[in-house]
Amino acid sequence: MSEDEKEIDERDQRRQDWIDLLEGVALYHMKKANKSAPVLYMQEPSEEHTMHKVYHEAVREAIGLIQLLPTVGPDDNKLPQHDEGPAG
């Protein structure tokens, strides 16, 4: 295995570690939101419940973004922000 392949494998592993960590955080906030959910129908949700729901959704969005983004090598400058013009 070449040095570049090894570095990309390490990046993939770090990326997966971040995803695993964030999935645990999202699960925690989902459980806290469910625990603090209103008991009665039409009852106003508490601020704690609302915030845990927001945190859960924000972390899920971060996970989705991390999964969407490509793993970039050290010499790979082919991302759109590196282009000149409207795309860059």
Q: How far apart are the first and last CA of the chain?
A: 34
pTM: 0.70
pLDDT band for position 39 (cuts 50, 70, 90): confident
CA dihedral 29, 31, 35, 40 (to 10 degrees): 90
| Count of Cβ atoms closer than 10 Å to residue 48 Cβ | 12
Q: What is the pLDDT of residues 14-29, one digit of tens each?
A: 889 999 999 999 999 9
Q: What is the average pLDDT value for the chain, to the nearest integer?
A: 84
